[in-house]
Every structure is written in C-alpha cells, then in structure tokens.
A = this chain, B = another copy of it.
C-alpha cells in the first residue's frame, strides 16, 4: 500500500472567486498581511504497488483536474506503516 497526493489548483491566469472571498473575510476579521488566497483541491489516494506513475498521471489529468482551468501535481508520500 502506498499513498499518493494529487493537488489540483486553479491556473494562475484564472480568477478564483472563492479565494478572493477568503481574502475579503480575513481582512474584515482583522487578519492583516494576507494579500492573496487561492483555493484548490487535495486528494489522497491509497494505491497498491502495481499502480504506475503514468496511470496516476492519467487519473489526475483526466478525472481529478479540469485541465482547462486547473493545474495538477502528483506526488507519492511515505506512510508510517
């Protein structure tokens, strides 16, 4: 068993209204110093050893991200067994 993290974030050139709402809320609530927030998604996948990187990239690109507006990254992480 291994764990894989897929991070999906809105592309830099895409407006992120959720993130902008958070920036506004932080400022109203008195948290200064946060100039920008972008909100994306994070997936944790439990996979068995047979799943290869190419397949993970296909899953991330084809299913978890909308590549028109989102960037994605896949990384394997160590799990304390």
Question: Residues of A at under 8 Å CB distance from B?
Answer: 1, 7-9, 19, 22, 25-26, 29, 31-48, 50-51, 55, 58-59, 63-64
Contacts of A47 in B (CB 8 A): 33-35
CA distance A26 to B33 in the complex (A): 41
Residues of B within 8 A of A26 (CB): 59, 63
By a CB distance below 8 angstroms, the chain B residues around A58 are 31
A55 to B48, CA, bound (A): 39
Q: Is the pair B37, A44 in contact by a Cβ cutoff of 8 Å?
A: yes
- Contact with A34, one of B40, B42, B59 (Cβ below 8 angstroms): B59
Q: Identify 20 residue pairs between A and B in the complex whose beta-carbon atoms are under 8 Å apart, listed by A's number.
A: A1-B35, A8-B42, A9-B42, A19-B43, A22-B63, A22-B64, A31-B58, A31-B59, A32-B51, A33-B48, A34-B45, A34-B51, A34-B59, A35-B46, A36-B45, A37-B46, A39-B42, A39-B43, A40-B44, A42-B42
